[in-house]
């Protein structure tokens, strides 16, 4: 099977210091054979088994996994060896594995694990070898739509952009690149992949390329603002959070020079400012979104995300 990694080989590394962030309230992803082995030695676990879709998982408390010891180590791995450790835990943070037609897509968790940019990070081959030990398709075979998007993403070249239309007009500060640019560019492919297959769907997937390019430029500007506030380069976790939080504003900036039109319908318009913007979108014929957003603040744009999205449907 063809494999697409959402990051370059050996460019991501992490040093597990037993923070336990990946072992808190996330459930334990298990293969059937592992479940039998774990329950045989720890019978109480059977009381907490559940199904999530096609996957078999075991509930664990939000504070920490049943098997996370006070020293930050996994008791299953310490007592029984790494092979006995639940499959999803062995793969983490490279545990987001999907199938798109004949392509296996391997992504990573940049929200929970403090990954770092490296020239000698985890090899792709090592991750593939771990995936090969897992046979449950619910853990390493979640199917995603095969519409040619992945092939276009693989061919997409990630480079440093030179600007973002509308950024200074909306934010009131100049757009610039963050100091942590190398890490941001490595992270971009993963963020694009998750935006393409996530719930927001700002445009039909095959047509999202141009929108994502512009959203990425806006995101880099917000990362630079974050660095200014923190007075340091941001980590990959922080930059991932900025993408999630600022996505509605990034989408508005991506559509800055486009002409929106909102069909009348039932929408949640929570503030007078959002209602006024909705009325302008319904009446609009030739005005660009950037012109319509003159005087509108970032908080209103976030609240207006559903109607802005629908204006370009």
Q: Is the pLDDT of residue 18 over 70?
A: no
Sign, CA torsion 78/82/86/92:
positive
Same domain for 127 and 232, yes or no, is no
Does residue 290 sit within a domain?
A: no
Residue 249: half-sphere exposure toward Cβ, Cα within 13 Å: 24
Does residue 65 form part of some domain? yes
139-160 pLDDT tens trace: 888 899 999 999 999 999 999 9
Domain's final residue, options 128, 143, 158? 143
Counted domains in the chain: 2
Tokens of residue 43, six digits: 């019978």
The residue written with tokens 């000698």 in the block is 120
15 and 112, same domain (yes or no): yes
Q: 213 lies in a domain?
A: yes
The range of the structural domain enclosing residue 189 comes to: 149-254
Indicate the pLDDT class of residue 17, thresholds 50, 70 and 90: low
Shared-domain flag, residues 56 and 27: yes
Q: What is the pLDDT of residues 232-276, one digit of tens each?
A: 999 999 999 999 999 999 999 999 999 999 999 899 899 999 999
- Tell me whether residue 218 is in a domain: yes
Among 222, 254, 286, give the residue marking a domain's end: 254
Instruction: Report, as an integer, the average pLDDT of 44-68.
Output: 81
127/181 same-domain check: no
Question: Over 80: is that where the pLDDT of 192 sits?
Answer: yes
Residue 275 resides in a domain: no
Query: Quick one: 30 and 84 in the same domain?
Result: yes
310 domain residue, yes or no: no
Same domain, 45 and 138: yes
Q: What is the pLDDT of residue 87?
A: 82
Helix intervals (H) in 115-208: 124-132, 137-140, 149-155, 167-171, 181-197
Q: Which of 160, 190, 170, 162 is nearest to 249 (CA)?
A: 170
Is 279 part of any domain?
no
């Amino acid at each position: 099977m063809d494999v697409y990694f959402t990051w370059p080989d050996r460019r991501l590394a992490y040093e597990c210091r037993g923070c336990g962030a990946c072992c808190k309230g996330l459930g334990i992803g298990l293969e059937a054979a592992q479940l039998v082995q774990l329950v045989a030695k720890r019978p109480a676990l059977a009381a907490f088994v559940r199904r999530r879709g096609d996957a078999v998982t075991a509930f664990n408390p939000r504070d920490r996994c049943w098997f996370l010891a006070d020293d930050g180590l996994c008791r299953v791995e310490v007592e029984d060896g790494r092979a006995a450790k639940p499959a999803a835990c062995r793969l983490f943070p490279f545990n987001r594995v999907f199938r798109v037609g004949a392509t296996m897509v391997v992504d990573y968790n940049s929200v929970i694990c403090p990954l770092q940019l490296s020239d000698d990070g985890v090899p792709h081959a090592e991750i593939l070898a771990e995936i090969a030990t897992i046979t449950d398709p619910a853990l390493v075979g979640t199917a995603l739509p095969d519409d040619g998007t992945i092939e276009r993403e693989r061919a997409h070249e990630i480079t440093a952009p030179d600007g973002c239309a509308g950024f200074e007009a909306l934010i009131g500060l100049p757009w610039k690149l963050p100091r942590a640019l190398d890490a941001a560019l490595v992270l971009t492919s993963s963020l694009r992949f998750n935006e393409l297959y996530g719930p927001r769907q700002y445009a039909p997937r095959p047509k999202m390329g141009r929108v994502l390019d512009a959203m990425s430029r806006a995101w880099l500007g917000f990362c630079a603002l974050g660095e200014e506030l923190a007075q340091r380069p941001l980590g990959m976790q922080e930059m991932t959070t900025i993408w999630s939080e600022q996505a509605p504003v990034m989408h508005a900036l991506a559509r800055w020079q486009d002409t929106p039109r909102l069909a009348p319908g039932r929408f949640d318009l929570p503030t007078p400012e959002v209602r006024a913007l909705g009325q302008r979108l319904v009446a609009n014929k030739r005005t660009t979104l950037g012109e319509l957003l003159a005087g509108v603040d970032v908080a209103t744009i976030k609240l207006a995300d559903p109607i802005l999205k629908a204006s370009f449907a």
